[in-house]
Structure 1
């Protein structure tokens, strides 16, 4: 009688093949949340595995090391943000409403200042990994820049550099990293509305028509 052959699993490989994509997504989702909340260095693969409810070996099955997991989690997060941003743009015709909704979405999520996160992670990343992250980030700016460019063509805002406006607006949204602005506490809705108003109207004196 012939004994049936059994296939040996790779170390850390999930038992159920069907569950592989969902486990990978769970690890990525958990990693992106922890990196954005705590920064790069404080987060370990053990911490990610425990929070995701998987073994460390399972994390290593999908990702070579922490830098690999960081790069993948951040680039996929950027891709999701780009999709959300595009969805908001397509759902609203008024540019000011678009900006308010984009700002509110940003303010409603806990996050560290992205450039600070990148400076912290940079020594641990290869040039290819750095480039992959920057390309994913640039896609978001392209969506915003296209929005500003269309608004200029429609005469809704003044002529200018659409990509510069994209970066300027994104930089203003970094204020949302603070729990307090001076001695005043804002809800996400209040802060997003105030930031968009500042961006929209600027700080020049408002003159009423005589």
Structure 2
């Protein structure tokens, strides 16, 4: 699996190493991943991997950043045109992430594996948490609260939505954890389930039409 469209043949060794690391860590996880295999995937000497990144930990950190870049870039690009309606915004954000993950399967698998791999340290989980927090910030920015029922704040609505997501996440993790593709083939299924729950919560939070 590739991280997306093929990179130019003249991509720098550092870029090739990063893409190879994303694929290797996505395939094998942190513990089983090999710097030698990463070097082979990138077509460079193992010493060059260490020259650029110093250690397996540093390379893993850089690979996670590499995997998150297309998601963060897509969200940043979409920010000026996000719908003001809370639920339409959630749907749009979900669609953006789905497209990115479809285009970058190795990035998706590395992000998910980093969430479920018990060998991954708290430091790396914190990096993923920071990325998720930035995504959540977009829910509040200039959102239209006029359709909420009287007495319901945007903060309460978002908190409820996050609680629904937190309840769904363990089920997703349990379902995909043992899958070789870490649920990549089922992305649309889980997005559809999430959108169904969104509609149910929306009908409870919004005033009757």
Tell me the TM-score normalised to structure 2 length: 0.62
| Aligned residue in 1 for 2:4 | none
Residue aligned with 1:137, SS: helix
* Aligned counterparts of 2:96 and 2:167: Cα–Cα separation in 1: 13
Q: Deviations over 1:52-93 (max 9, x none)?
A: 121112111201111111112213433442222223444442
**1:100 correspondence with 2:94:** yes
Where structure 2 has 5 or more consecutive residues not aligned to the other structure, the ranges are 1-9
8 Å CA contact retained: 2:114, 2:120: no
Q: For 2:131 and 2:164, how far apart are their aligned partners in 1?
A: 13
Secondary structure of 1:40's aligned partner: helix
- 2:37 corresponds to which residue? 47
Residue 41 of structure 1 aligns to a residue whose secondary structure is helix
Aligned residues: 174
Whether 1:67 aligns to 2:57 is yes
CA contact (8 A) 1:142 1:163 kept: no
More helix as a share of residues = 2
The corresponding residue for 2:19 is: 29
Deviation at residue 24 of structure 1 after TM alignment? 0.5
Match 2:136 to one of 119, 142, 145: 145
Q: Which residue of 2 aligns with 1:198?
A: 197
Compared with structure 1, are the counterparts of its residues 168 and 29 closer, same or farther at alpha carbon in structure 2 (3 Å cutoff)? farther
1:113-158 CA deviation, whole Å, 9 max, x = no partner? 43223x3132xxxx8xx2xx45643442233222221365534666
- Deviation, structure 1 residue 43: 0.6
Shift in Å, 1:48: 0.6
Contact 2:18/2:62, CA 8 A, preserved across alignment = yes
Gaps of at least 5 residues in structure 1 are: 1-18
RMSD: 3.9
Task: Give the TM-score of the pair, scaled to structure 1.
Answer: 0.62
- Distance in 2, matches of 1:203 and 1:161, equals 9
Q: CA–CA distance in 1 between the matches of 2:132 and 2:197?
A: 20
Query: Structure 1's 29 and 153: CA in aligned 2 closer, same or farther, altered over 3 A?
Result: same
**Structure 2 vs 1, CA of residues 171 and 49 (structure 1 numbering), >3 Å: closer, same or farther?**
farther
Q: Considering only CA atoms, is the larger Rg found in Structure 1 or Structure 2?
A: 1
Residues 120-159 of structure 1 mapped to structure 2, 5 A cutoff: 120-122=119-121, 130=123, 133=124, 136-150=127-141, 153-155=144-146, 159=154
1:33-56 CA distance string (max 9 Å, x none): 221332111110011111112111
